[in-house]
Amino acid sequence: MPKIKYKMEDVEEASDTSANSSLLDNSRSILEFNFDLPQDRDHYKKDKKCTVCKTKFGKVGLVNFKKYCCKFCYKGVCLKCSPKQVMHPETLKLERICSNCYQKSKEAQVVEKQEQNLIAVQQIRQEVIAKVEEENQSKNKNKQNAKILAEKYEKLKLEKDQELSRLNDVIKQLNEQRDTLIDNFQQTKEKMNKVQEEMANRDKLQNDLDNDLSGIISSSERDRNEIGQLRNNLAQIQDEHVRLIRQIEEMSGPVDTKAKVKRKSKGEEKMLARIENAKLEYQKVLNDHNDMKKELEFKESELKLAEKQIKMLEDRDHEIEIQNRLKDNKSETTEGQEDRAGNLRKLIQENEIQIDKLKIEVEKARKQKNMKKKKKKAVELKGTDS
């Protein structure tokens, strides 16, 4: 027999069918329950007494016990034991129901409600258990995450300390290199100042030497011209000397000195006077010749000395040029050192920036760890309250 789910409505006792509709409208409450309707719908015809109170149907003394049919169990019942009418699930009308069926429906309703409540409680229990398990899993996961984060934090802290130590060593080395470079730069600067001072002195000396060289060269040119002129004069004097000697020989001939004293003639005296004058003039020319020769030799020695000085000045100019080249090389080396010092300063600044970034990251990691600790405590307090 299938179980039919329907709505049952409680009504006040009614002795006849005409009052049922008004009573149904006055008070009703809907009860849902499962009720088995029997297959035998004519069972009440066989019943001789009420199925509830067992009173026989028919006239007993002055009272007539009329038989009624319960439309839910289809058994015979008296009016006393079937005071209620409810909506029938098949006819959808108000039909008589006996006290047993009504009680059964009530019990079924209570049982069904209890079962529903039990199912609801079990569902709630399962949900609570699932939620507790989920919270436990979340707590375990949070613990694992906290452990992992703590390990990561310790690892980051160790790496940070190592990196800071390494950076401090690098900074220390760079500071030492910077100090060394600054000292070298100061020394190089002092040397450069000395070199520049020496170069200024050498430039001045070179200018003086150039002026002296120009004077010596011009003087040498004048000396060469004078030597040429003296040679020409000497040649003329030599020619005059030869001419006078010839003239004397022509005038006197081979004359002995003793014989020359004995001659007392007037003409001879005049001739001798002329000869003496010619000799004196010859001696003067000869002396001039010797003087010019000495002067020529002196000029030639001065010319050689000037050429030697010119050679020395040229060698000095060559030496100064070499020193200038060395100076240029030193200045290039100094510029390279300055570039290196600039690169080292830039590297020091970059390392300082990297250190500041690492400090910021460490501070962020510390704040995140504190926030996670607070969240963990809040979750634990919430779990304790539940």
Phi and psi at residue 40, in whole multiples of 5°? -85, 105
Q: 64: helix, coil or strand?
A: strand
For residues 255 and 279, the answer to whether their CB atoms sit within 8 Å is: no
* CA pseudo-torsion sign 39, 44, 49, 54: positive
For the segment 196-233, what is each residue's pLDDT rounded down to a tens digit? Answer: 888 888 778 778 767 776 776 776 677 677 767 767 77
With the CA atoms of 360, 365, 369 and 372 taken in that order, what torsion angle do they form, in degrees rounded to the nearest 10? 100
Token output for 244:
């006078």
Q: How many CB atoms lie within 10 A of CB 227?
A: 19
Distance (Å, whole) CA 160 – CA 364 = 13
Distance (Å, whole) CA 352 – CA 358 = 10
For the segment 253-286, what is each residue's pLDDT rounded down to a tens digit? Answer: 554 544 444 444 566 676 677 777 767 776 776 7
What string of DSSP letters covers 305-361?
HHHHHHHHHHHHHHHHHHHHHHHHHHHHHHHHHHHHHHHHHHHHHHHHHHHHHHHHH
Over its length of 386 residues, how does the chain's per-residue pLDDT go in tens digits? Answer: 444 444 443 333 333 333 343 333 333 333 444 567 888 889 899 999 999 999 888 876 666 788 999 999 999 999 999 999 999 988 899 999 999 999 988 888 888 888 889 999 999 999 999 999 888 888 888 888 888 888 888 888 898 899 889 889 989 889 898 888 888 888 888 888 887 888 888 778 778 767 776 776 776 677 677 767 767 776 777 777 677 777 766 766 554 544 444 444 566 676 677 777 767 776 776 777 677 777 777 767 766 776 676 677 667 667 767 766 666 665 555 566 667 667 767 776 776 787 677 778 767 777 777 787 777 777 666 666 55
Distance (Å, whole) CA 64 – CA 59 = 4
Residue type, 300: E
Predicted TM-score (pTM) of the model is: 0.31
Question: Cβ neighbours of residue 334 under 8 Å, at least 6 residues apart?
Answer: 185, 188, 192
Question: Cβ neighbours of residue 192 under 8 Å, at least 6 residues apart?
Answer: 330, 331, 334
- Report the candidate in 180, 216, 146 with the shortest Cα–Cα distance to residue 373: 146
Q: 53: helix, coil or strand?
A: coil
- Report the candidate in 294, 356, 45, 352 with the shortest Cα–Cα distance to residue 170: 352
Domains of the chain: 3-97 (3.30.40.10), 161-380 (1.10.287)
Whole-number pLDDT of residue 184: 86
